[in-house]
Structure 1
């Protein structure tokens, strides 16, 4: 299993599993089928409208260049508008991210789309497959150029807020940190995932991450230093407070 570490907005490093070559290939196949169906319908409409009025040059352009352009534009627009996910990536629950932890810019998605011509179309996918399977961060040429990678969205230690309710009973609970409302559901999931990862892999690295997160959030909430020393209990308290105050 290959993983990468990404820094969150809370300046905490979280480990994500990289998408496999098989997952990325299947996502591309889904995208190719999607674009192919769309192009077939478009071609049928154009042929019905123009018929024999088309020259051989126009037919060649529409038959070769247009499918290529449609595929590249499709990938660029879907990844740009769907936060790094084409329809194929959505189906496989994988996502494009920047390896420096920043949000990918439109130029990053554009570079990825343009380099599909080399990684996939011009080399029948051989170059892209070789690079993804052999590079340390499973990057094709488009990823290397844009500084991106593709990660799995599903993981054994990822939870929804429904799972958070199992930490302890919330009956007759009095919140201790009302300012926790400033955080988002995503922040709470980050806290829950950090706790879960520490409990699953109890090592010095994950312990430091847990304490760094507790200290960072304690500063934001102006919590007394002694209350953040037991990082796990402090973070669980924040989760309970958030659920009670926002549900």
Structure 2
């Protein structure tokens, strides 16, 4: 499987395995099956209870409005799940793939909305031909919606060296300094750890300053440590402390 290289805002290159076309198609099919089951269940339940409910007394357009309202979960299925499952739908989760920003950070609600709108072109109007061709012809394997939103679909099954993970051993009596670290994601912490490793190798003070300012801004917490290096190291330790308590 080929890799997708993402350069973060801290100029750290991180490699991900991009999701294959087969994985994306299969995830799409699984999601369609779930949506079809939901729509079928709603339709038959409404037909069963139609005679015994006020619905049967409504005019055609009113009944259509009720059905449309009940089918909204199927219409907004992909948008809803990608927003609230951090770039995954049930189908994507089953195939262990997810949507991320090409800079390595978590995609925003706006990014997911753009991808969802462009499904009309990528998948619906062209029967998936445009989406498949775009994935095949672009370097980062993006459909049109991904290109516009600045996102990519990666595989979360790639093997990662232990030194590249966010895990680190913690002392039992460790006392955290920054409870705000819980606002960071695993992906953010992985990027911070890689950047810190690069800083220690190159002694890049500019990168350290940029990293510190970025982490402070995302967490909404100022540096309380005596040095920027100590601040970043503390953030990593605090994140591990809180996540290991969950």
Shift in Å, 1:6: 4.7
Matched ranges for 1:218-237 at <5 A: 220=223, 222-223=225-226
Change (3 A) 1:35 1:210: farther
Change (3 A) 1:123 1:67: farther
Change (3 A) 1:239 1:101: closer
Matched, 1:45 2:45: yes
Change (3 A) 1:215 1:180: farther
- Residue of structure 2 in register with 1:29 after alignment: 29
Structure 2: segments with no counterpart, 5+ residues: 214-221
Counterpart contact for 2:78–2:89, Cα < 8 Å: yes
Change (3 A) 1:47 1:238: closer
Distance 1:107 1:240 in 2: 31
In the alignment of these two chains, the number of paired residues is 217
TM-score (norm. length: structure 2): 0.63
- Residue of structure 2 in register with 1:93 after alignment: 96
Change (3 A) 1:103 1:237: closer
TM-score (norm. length: structure 1): 0.63
Matched ranges for 1:150-229 at <5 A: 150-157=153-160, 159=165, 161=167, 164-165=168-169, 179=177, 183-184=181-182, 186=185, 189-190=189-190, 194=194, 207-208=201-202, 212=207, 216=211, 220=223, 222-223=225-226
Change (3 A) 1:140 1:67: farther
Root-mean-square deviation over aligned CA pairs: 4.7
- Residue of structure 2 in register with 1:75 after alignment: 78
Shift in Å, 1:139: 0.9
Structure 1: segments with no counterpart, 5+ residues: 199-203
Counterpart contact for 2:122–2:128, Cα < 8 Å: yes
